[in-house]
Every structure is written in C-alpha cells, then in structure tokens.
Structure 1
C-alpha cells in the first residue's frame, strides 16, 4: 500500500470513527464479520437480527469493509466455509462483545459509509480497494510474481488477495477486475485463482481471467487451463473460452487469436458492441468518467480500436464516426449526447 493509500485509509477511519482509528481489534472484527456472513448465508435472519447486522456494519468503515470482505471471501473460497461455521458457533456461545461505538451521528455516518464504500463515479479508492493485498487504479497495470515461474499481470481497476492453502498451494482470490496468469513450462508449482463462483488453474501457459459485475470470463491463451464450477471440471485448450456467473456456465467456445483480450498489447478493441458496454469498459481505464446523457444511445453498435496511452481518442472516434457530441468537463468527466 502506497503512502497515499495509507493516508486515505487513515482519513476515512479518522473521519468516521476517531475513537477507533488507531486502536481496533482487527482479529475480533474479522471473526464477527465472518460470523455474520455465515449466519446470513446459511439461515434466514429475523427482522431483529437484520437490524443488529445493520447497526454492526454502521459502527465504522472498518466494520462495513470487514463484512464486505468476508462476504466476497465466502463466495470466492468455498473450501473455508465449514471452518467459518464452526467459528461462528463458538462466537455465538461466548456471546456478542461489541467493539467501541462510532462517535458520529447516524446521518453523517450512513452517508459517509456509502461514500467510502462506493465512491461516486469511482473518483477515489473505496475501502474494499484499500484492503486488498494488491490493487490497480484506473489505467494502471502491474505484475505480481506469485511463485517461481508463475506471474500475474493485473489489468486496470483490479484487486486481489493472495494466501496459501495446505491442499491447493498458492491461492489467489480475484475480488474484481482482470488478470493474466503466466506459468512457464519450468514451473512445477500449483496456483489456483478463485473468481466468482468458480476456480481456475493454468498449466504451462497463459490464461486471461476477467471477473466484472458478477460474471467471470476465462480465456486460455496458450497451454491449458482447468475451470472448476459447480462440482464439475472443464478443460480449456489454447484458443478456448467459457463464461460463468453465480449459477450458470456457458459451453466452451473457440476464440480466434485476433479476438483475444487486447489490453496486454496496450489496446482496447471493440467489435459491434453496444455503446453502453463500450462506455462501461472505457470507464474502467478512464481516470475520470464518461457518461451517456441519453440512455437510448446505449444500444448503438460501435466498432473501433484505441491505444490505452491515448484513450481520449475514443471520444474523437465516436464524434467522427457515429455522430455523437462529447462535452469535456474538468476532472476527466465527458458527457456523450446526440450531435
């Protein structure tokens, strides 16, 4: 975490809960968060319990972040659920011991928590971003070496956690975003990536894994990959792709090399895609935000390519080829409308 990130995190915690900004029992906090998620996922909460959960999450940004983080890990790492359930039963037997209360009032706290958890237009890092072991901001890419001869190349606006499991080896929980896993033929190590409701292993090659808006897309670029979903295994060879959500998975599809994800080559390429999807993808890389002023524009199909080093060219292309007007505002904000 950079000095800037630490300053932002401290500012959030100090603003929302000055009494606990420097003195918070992290272990107890995360145990309670896991207990709440275990209860929420395995049983129906009573109205009283739901109010207690809302109050618990509202005590501080750390509480809200711990709950969101635990909920993500429950979905991403199902092998730990039994341990969580046993831990939750022990916590319930000992009784609930609340941590220090937040000092600010309900309205300020609720509004502040929302801005911290979901920054408007993604203009600053959320607490979930700051808590990740590794993360990238808008337009940023970085490489992480996981093991000997195993690397992760992270695309823009991605965050992940790394841990070790006695049975699975090195484990990556892709919380959001896109990564390319690179494993050389000399590597005998095993790395498992959990993304959404499934897991992926790459063998002697490269695989692109994208987890955005609850949908996971796995493209095997070279070598082979194993996707485990819903108790079934799916083997991908080079040039094959599949997509899964929380409950469904597609058939294995053949992908031409020209249709491989282009971000590793420093480009964004769109082929007959709705403008709404194009804008959403641009906003993952854009330091500001592109906004469609007219929702009906979202159905327009567009095709073009643009360099990641010159994203503003996308607005020029949309103006010249598709008759749109782009109003540029300070802070990287751009409004798209009919000319």
Structure 2
C-alpha cells in the first residue's frame, strides 16, 4: 500500500470528521462525503479508523471529568497527565460542542425575516394566508419570497422546500408561483403542491388545472398528476396518489420501493444534522416504509435494526450508516 496515499486518506478522514461535526455542514457536504467514501477502499477504511477513535472519546472524556471531580482543589497545569491523543480528542470535543450549541440551539426557530419572506425551520410546518383567498401550507425547511404590487401580494417564489397552494374560487386576480426557472399559472379554485431543490422541481395538482411554463414550453398538470423538471428537461405528467405524495400534510412520510439512499435524503429535510450512508450496497436497498414526523430522531435506529447497519452517532444530529 502506498504510504503517502494512506497518510493522505487519514488526513482527509480527520478533516471530514471535523467538518461533519462542526455544525456548518450542508446537504451538499453530506453527498460529497458519501462520494468520497465510495471513491476507494482506503477512504472508507481511514474514516472507519477515525470513527472508532471518536467513539473511544466519550468514555475517555467522562473518565477524565470524574478524575477532575475527585479533587477539591484547583488542578495545576502539570497535575493531570494526559496522553497526546486524549488531549487532542478532548480539545476537539469541546470545540465541536460549542459550535453545535451555537448552531442548533438557535437555528431550530427561524423567524420571518420581513413582510415579504416566509420560512420554516427544520421539522417545522406552517399554514399561512398570504393574501385574501390564497392559503399556503409550508413543509419543513421551506423558503418563500412573496411577490407584491403595491400593498397587494400577487404571487410567490419558492426558493427552497415544499408547499401546497390553495386558491379560493372567489379570488379575482391571478396568483403566479415561481420556482427555479419555471412558473405556474392557475385559475381560481385551484390547489397544487410545489417542491424545489436547487435547479430541480416538481408540481402536483390537487384540484383544478395548473400550467407549468418553462421557457417557451407549457405543460398542463391535471388533478392527481405530477410533473418533474430539471436542467435535463420536463418529464411527462404521471399519475400519483396525492395522499401518499403529500402525506407530510398529515405529518407522515410514506416511501414505496425507493432506494434507501433516496429515503434518507428526504428524511434529512425533517431533522437537524444529517444521516449519511457510507456503504453503496446499503444505500441501494429498496425500502417500503412509513414514518411519522415524531419518529425522526429514531430513524437511524430503525434502519440499523431493519438492515443490520452500523450507526455512528456524532454531535449535531449527524449519523453515519455503514
């Protein structure tokens, strides 16, 4: 084995561990980490060693604190003898804990920034009447900018997340919804769901008729139909069961024959931190599952029990499954 490559893998593994537990890691970071683990066996092995080192940290720190607690006088700089590894790991733990408290102690309640912005935090759902006759149900981690003409709200832009828009039959003015590089035009009495992830999105019609406009192309979406779009184009409308597709409105998530990696990616929207699958075979397993939003904290344990996965719990809600 190339010693230089092994040392480089170890260095990168330590950097990944510190970043994943820093409280600053994003969904994209989680995906990048998963790809890094799958690049070659050295990466996965290096992280496994680093992970085991981290797991040893808990008992070591607890023991050290107990030893300190036995003394009734201040400890001098030389009184406590620690190995170099334990000292380094303890310092890492303290700094990570401070970052996690700062990050997750306040970010769980995201306020409305101003009269033109609506947001929900991780795991939060809201129902808002944005203007007379237009009600928006917002799912977790959703960011909406309201469009105005004078004092009147005339539309909205879904910048991130998922929402259901209800337009009362008596609404007289058009209400336009934008997401990514597309826009939706709907008549009064229409209800539809929209979801936006980066440059991709989807539209699910519940009542009435909705038209998705993207460039010069217009796509009609009828009740119980869904249309997806991305940089690759717009997919044909497909029939969906709204009760399943939008079960989050009942605080339920339903997955029918999906890869576990896709299920985890969706569940990550509902909980702080991330669940990261580091094993390709585990991520490819097909899943039929039903979770309530009250079970989000237990999902890693449920996956561990169902598939025999190994779960490593890190600060800030991060869990590594292998």
User: 1:259 Cα deviation (Å)?
Assistant: 3.3
1:259 aligns with one of 217, 228, 244: 244
**Contact 2:275/2:300 (8 A) holds in 1:** no
Q: Give secondary structure in 1 for the equivalent of 2:211.
A: strand
Residue of structure 2 equivalent to 1:136: 120
- Say if 2:220 is the partner of 1:220: no
Give the number of the structure with larger relative contact order, counting CA–CA contacts within 8 Å between residues 6 or more apart: 2
| Residues 115-170 of structure 1 deviation map (CA, whole Å, 9 limit, x = unaligned) | xxxx9xx9676x9x96881211110111222221101111111111112259x971
1:148 aligns with one of 132, 138, 144: 132
Residue of structure 2 equivalent to 1:336: 321
Change (3 A) 1:205 1:313: farther
**Contact 1:196/1:246 (8 A) holds in 2:** no
| Residues 29-70 of structure 1 deviation map (CA, whole Å, 9 limit, x = unaligned) | xxxxxxxxxxxxxxxxxxxxxxxxxxxxxxxxxxxxxxxxxx
Q: TM-score of the superposition, structure 2-length normalised?
A: 0.60
Residue of structure 2 equivalent to 1:312: 297
Distance 2:292 2:190 in 1: 26
Which range moves more in the overlay, 245-254 or 213-222?
245-254
Distance 1:239 1:281 in 2: 21
Residue of structure 1 equivalent to 2:262: 277
1:268 aligns with one of 217, 237, 253: 253
Change (3 A) 1:296 1:171: same
Equivalences for residues 131-210 of structure 1 within 5 A: 133-165=117-149, 170-203=154-187, 204-210=189-195
Q: Give secondary structure in 2 for the equivalent of 1:139.
A: coil
- Say if 2:258 is the partner of 1:292: no
Distance 1:269 1:313 in 2: 16
Consecutive unaligned residues of structure 2, counting only runs of 5 or more, are 1-99
Query: Which structure has the larger Rg?
Result: 2
User: 1:292 Cα deviation (Å)?
Assistant: 1.8
Q: Give secondary structure in 2 for the equivalent of 1:313.
A: helix
User: 1:333 Cα deviation (Å)?
Assistant: 2.2
Distance 1:259 1:250 in 2: 20
User: 1:295 Cα deviation (Å)?
Assistant: 4.2
Q: TM-score of the superposition, structure 1-length normalised?
A: 0.57
**Contact 2:146/2:153 (8 A) holds in 1:** no
Equivalences for residues 30-109 of structure 1 within 5 A: none
User: 1:313 Cα deviation (Å)?
Assistant: 3.3
Distance 1:157 1:208 in 2: 15
Residue of structure 1 equivalent to 2:72: none
Equivalences for residues 105-120 of structure 1 within 5 A: none
Give the superposed CA RMSD.
2.8
TM superposition outliers: structure 1 runs of 4+ over 4 Å = 122-125, 129-132
Q: Give secondary structure in 1 for the equivalent of 2:234.
A: coil
| Residues 73-98 of structure 1 deviation map (CA, whole Å, 9 limit, x = unaligned) | xxxxxxxxxxxxxxxxxxxxxxxxxx
Distance 1:297 1:310 in 2: 21
**Contact 1:144/1:152 (8 A) holds in 2:** yes
User: 1:251 Cα deviation (Å)?
Assistant: 0.9
Q: Give secondary structure in 2 for the equivalent of 1:324.
A: coil
**Contact 1:306/1:313 (8 A) holds in 2:** no
Residue of structure 1 equivalent to 2:6: none
Change (3 A) 1:229 1:169: farther
Consecutive unaligned residues of structure 1, counting only runs of 5 or more, are 1-118
Equivalent residue pairs, number: 215
Distance 1:308 1:169 in 2: 31
